[in-house]
Copies of this chain bind each other. A is one copy, B any other.
């Protein structure tokens, strides 16, 4: 047992100082469950102020069985869409009187397992979880009895609560939008093929093309990481072949990487290539050109996720949210803000 440099003030010190019992000190701190005489309360409060006492949250958690903490595990906090979601969740958790213990898996499956494990050990009151890949550690969590909400595409047969937008439909609509512009050669830059959400997004793209009587050419599927560099690399591959007229990038970072590659080849968006992307954030709106992007209702989703943890009864609940296609300049709907004065 490591001795702290300075012994901390405990509840017993306050009781002694205020000339009362430890129970009364608790009652004052917690505003219950028993009433306390005003005079006594004053003495206790005075003692607390005098000593600078702060209740030990750990001991409290042990005795009460609640940590007033939720856990959040994300694949990579450096992804702006994810950090905006984390931000919203934190706000909502806070409104619920708890803090979020945020774990960043750094796109590593093993790290993710460690984090989930760690949070479970810490007896969080609930866990919100987006997995790095399609093999989420759900069983481990369920075995612990901890309330769980997946913020992810999860195999339908799993008995687990989950919140998501219908990504297949969102991808369909994004592609559909490009088709309505009259573009017929529409490529897709997507994530790793084994991921469920990649598959959903490809499937939406494919369906939109087929419904329009177009043939989804497998050569126009460019799988890569969900990163800027990934988008850049995929675009380079694309540029080595026949150029499509339009492109659906399945996340915002890929879209930015792609834009960079296109610029390197002297191609402009949307004139040479129209672009729509998935999971846009404020970054899409401020980019030049601004990106037409599928937007998820991050705040509502965060609210619902916390709500589900709060109301937890062990029954799995799936909740689907509507998305929105935010129109920018990259698809050709609007004139692009000119980056050059004349010529």
Q: List residues of chain A with CB under 8 Å of any chain B CB.
A: 1-6, 8, 52, 54-67, 69, 76-78, 80, 83-84, 86-87, 90-91, 94, 99-104, 106, 111, 114-115, 117-123, 143-145, 228, 232, 256-257, 259-260, 263-264, 266-268, 271-272, 282-283, 286-288, 290, 314, 337-343
Contacts and interface: CB of A to CB of B under 8 A. Distances in A.
Copy number in the complex reads 2
Given A58-B123, A283-B256, A1 B90 contact: no
Nearest to A2: B65
Given A260-B337, A267-B341, 14 more contacts: A3-B65, A5-B145, A58-B62, A77-B83, A78-B83, A90-B104, A90-B106, A94-B114, A99-B101, A100-B103, A264-B337, A266-B338, A268-B340, A271-B340
A66 B339 contact: no
What is the interface of chain A mostly: helix, strand, loop, or mixed? mixed
A86 to B, nearest CB: 6
Nearest to A122: B57
B104 A268 contact: no
A340 B1 contact: no
A256 B291 CA distance: 14
A118 B106 contact: no
- Interface pairs A-B: 5 shortest CB-CB: A57-B121, A263-B337, A102-B102, A263-B288, A57-B122
B61 A86 contact: no
Nearest to A82: B83
B64 A1 contact: yes
Contacts of A58: 58, 61-62, 67, 122-123
B282 A228 contact: yes
Contacts of A4: 65, 145
A121 B80 contact: no
Nearest to A8: B145
Which of A99, A144, A266, A272 gathers the greatest number of chain B CB atoms within 10 Å? A99
Nearest to A269: B339
Nearest to A59: B62
Nearest to A329: B263
A266 B340 CA distance: 5
A87 B91 contact: no
A101 B118 CA distance: 11
29 contacts: A2-B64, A4-B65, A5-B145, A8-B145, A56-B121, A57-B118, A58-B61, A58-B123, A77-B83, A78-B83, A80-B80, A87-B104, A90-B104, A90-B106, A94-B111, A99-B119, A102-B102, A102-B104, A228-B286, A232-B286, A256-B283, A259-B286, A263-B337, A263-B338, A266-B337, A266-B341, A268-B339, A339-B340, A343-B343
Given A4-B145, A341-B266, A341-B267, A54 B260 contact: no
A310 B314 CA distance: 40
Contacts of A144: 8, 54
A330 to B, nearest CB: 12
Nearest to A147: B5
A339 B263 contact: yes
Contacts of A228: 282-283, 286
Nearest to A267: B341
Contact of A341 (B60, B272, B288): B272
